[in-house]
């Protein structure tokens, strides 16, 4: 008989950490779990986080909750994740736990969407200098017209940047360069941009949206007050057509929100794919020549969730009905030929049929396109020009749920410059778990 293969070599570091963890101290089990994650050994890490969490280790409780929330080596279980996060928040006043609880509550499923509780949690995390909370609060205050709130936005971006948040630093560079919420500081902006470039972080495209429409801010909000529920109050829409039902909503997103989406998408851009009608598999096709990035829940943070809640609310839908947000970049000559967003009946079995079809789409332009890049609706005879922060909302289905072929639309070729677009497809029923 052939000799059996020798066992894989034991990693000395993991061996030493396992020996310490065997003594049963929560910190040793936590450190072993962190190391195991770094070595791709997720199942053992899950067990070690579980042991340390049960012993009261707040960091382990948070990390175990993350794995439960995203279904890493287990079935996704938002309810259990919330339970562990509440333990970490209550027992250790953990800022990460509070921020995650606020993020989950925005969906209104695994936790109630209690605005007061969400704002209190985020404020506590801001006071603890937790970077994701600092970034979300900065973007929130950046929507406000008040000069003091604009200055707060810059201050919060500064604090997040000092704590290593790359996205906050990129947003800060743009504000310093343009003098938004502060005096223009071109030399400081140049220095920060140079540091980012040295680490492979590209510059953002020029984005200057009009200030958000006043109707999107709650009347009761006062300068300096966190009121994240403003994401549920979109500005008024203009109806462009009834077949398909087509709306235009201007000034939905702020400059910071548009920049945020581009900054988060740039590292993950890949050639766009389209579902092959014969095989049902995604593949690159000439019908769609853009690049795109999809925001998997694992990479979502509070600021991204708030933008998605704002878009879902502008579309008149719940966030839980939304598929993953997709951000697209169209270079000169690139386009999306006429197509429909709904899944044909024969393909539904491959696309989460329990959630129903794509009933509605919201597309939001993120930058000003030099020329071209309009969205065309041939059956309605409507063409919508890009403008940063402008959204187009349209129905893909008839009221009775039948696909509406009149929803045919196209992204016309960009002839000069580039186009950045965020698209959120919304299903008939819940798609997300939280």
pLDDT tens digits, one per residue of 9-57: 568 889 899 999 999 999 999 999 999 999 999 999 999 999 999 999 9
Which of 124, 143, 167 is the last residue in one of the domains?
124
Which of 214-223, 240-249, 344-353, 403-412 comes out lowest in average pLDDT?
214-223
Which of 147, 170, 198 is the last residue in one of the domains?
198
The predicted structure's pLDDT at residue 216:
44
419: tokens are: 């186009």
The predicted structure's pLDDT at residue 217:
47
337: Cα within 13 Å, side-chain hemisphere:
7
The predicted structure's pLDDT at residue 222:
85
Number of domains comprising the chain = 3
Query: Do 309 and 194 lie in a common domain?
Result: no
Q: What average pLDDT score do residues 266-287 get?
A: 66
The DSSP result for 140-197, as a single string, is HHHT---HHHHHHHHHHHHHHHHTT-HHHHHHHHHHHHHTSSS---HHHHHHHHHHHH
Domain extent for 163: 131-198
Residues pairing with 416 in the sheet? 371
Query: Do 30 and 66 lie in a common domain?
Result: yes
Query: Do 250 and 394 lie in a common domain?
Result: yes
**4 in a structural domain:** no
Query: Do 392 and 266 lie in a common domain?
Result: yes
CB count within 10 Å of CB 404 equals: 19
What does the mean pLDDT of the chain come to?
A: 93
Q: Is the pLDDT of residue 8 over 90?
A: no
**415 in a structural domain:** yes
395: tokens are: 């129905």
Query: Do 90 and 145 lie in a common domain?
Result: no
CATH code where residue 75 lies = 1.25.40.10
Q: Is the pLDDT of residue 284 over 60?
A: no
Query: Do 277 and 218 lie in a common domain?
Result: yes
147: tokens are: 């000069």
With the C-alpha atoms ordered 149, 153, 154, 159, is the resulting torsion angle positive or negative?
A: positive
**5 in a structural domain:** no
**106 in a structural domain:** yes
Query: Do 341 and 249 lie in a common domain?
Result: yes
**1 in a structural domain:** no
Q: Which residue has the higher pLDDT, 9 or 141?
A: 141
CATH code where residue 397 lies = 2.60.120.620
With a pLDDT cut of 70, the percent of the chain lying above it is: 92
The predicted structure's pLDDT at residue 274:
61
Question: For the stretch 99-125, what's the b/e string if a residue is b when 16 or more beta carbons lie within 10 angstroms of its beta carbon?
Answer: bbbbbbbbbbbbbebebeebbebbbbb
Which of 139, 174, 198 is the last residue in one of the domains?
198
CA distance 15 to 225: 50
The predicted structure's pLDDT at residue 84:
98
Can you give the pTM of this predicted structure?
A: 0.92
Taking alpha carbons only, the member of 110, 10, 44 closest to residue 52 is: 44
**357 in a structural domain:** yes
């Amino acid at each position: 008989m052939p000799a059996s293969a020798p066992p894989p070599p034991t990693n000395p570091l993991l061996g030493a950490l396992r020996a310490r963890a065997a003594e049963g101290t929560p910190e040793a089990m936590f450190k072993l779990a962190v190391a195991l994650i770094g070595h791709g050994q997720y199942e053992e890490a899950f067990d070690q986080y579980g042991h340390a969490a049960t012993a009261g280790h707040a960091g382990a409780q948070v990390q175990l909750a993350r794995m439960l929330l995203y279904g890493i080596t287990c079935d996704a279980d938002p309810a259990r994740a919330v339970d562990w996060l509440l333990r970490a928040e209550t027992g250790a006043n953990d800022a990460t736990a509070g921020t995650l609880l606020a993020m989950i509550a925005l969906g209104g499923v695994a936790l109630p969407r209690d605005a007061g509780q969400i704002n209190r949690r985020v404020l506590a995390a801001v006071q603890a200098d937790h970077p994701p909370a600092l970034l979300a609060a900065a973007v929130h205050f950046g929507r406000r017209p008040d000069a003091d709130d604009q200055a707060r936005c810059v201050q919060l971006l500064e604090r997040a940047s000092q704590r290593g948040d790359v996205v906050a630093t990129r947003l800060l560079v743009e504000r310093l360069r343009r003098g938004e919420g502060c005096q223009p500081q071109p030399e400081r902006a140049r220095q920060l941009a140079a540091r980012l470039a040295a680490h492979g972080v590209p510059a953002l495209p020029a984005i200057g949206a009009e200030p958000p429409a006043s109707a999107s801010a709650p009347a009761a909000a006062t300068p300096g007050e966190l009121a994240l529920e403003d994401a549920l109050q979109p500005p008024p829409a203009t109806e462009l057509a009834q077949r398909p039902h087509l709306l235009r909503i201007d000034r939905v997103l702020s400059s910071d929100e548009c920049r945020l989406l581009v900054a988060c998408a740039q590292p993950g851009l890949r050639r766009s794919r389209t579902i092959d009608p014969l095989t049902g598999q995604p593949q690159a096709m000439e019908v769609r020549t853009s690049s795109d990035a999809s925001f998997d829940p694992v990479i979502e943070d509070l600021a991204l969730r708030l933008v998605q809640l704002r878009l879902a609310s502008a579309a008149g839908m719940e966030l839980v009905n939304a598929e993953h947000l997709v951000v697209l970049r169209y270079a000169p000559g690139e386009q999306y030929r006429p197509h429909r967003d709904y899944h044909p009946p024969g393909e539904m079995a491959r696309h989460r049929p329990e959630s129903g079809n794509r009933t509605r789409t919201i597309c939001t332009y993120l930058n000003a396109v030099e020329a071209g890049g309009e969205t065309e609706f041939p059956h309605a005879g409507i063409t919508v020009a890009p403008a940063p922060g402008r959204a187009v909302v349209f129905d893909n289905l008839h009221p009775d749920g039948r696909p509406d072929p009149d929803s045919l639309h196209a992204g016309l070729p960009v002839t000069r410059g580039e186009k950045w677009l965020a698209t959120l497809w919304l299903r008939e029923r819940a798609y997300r778990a939280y």
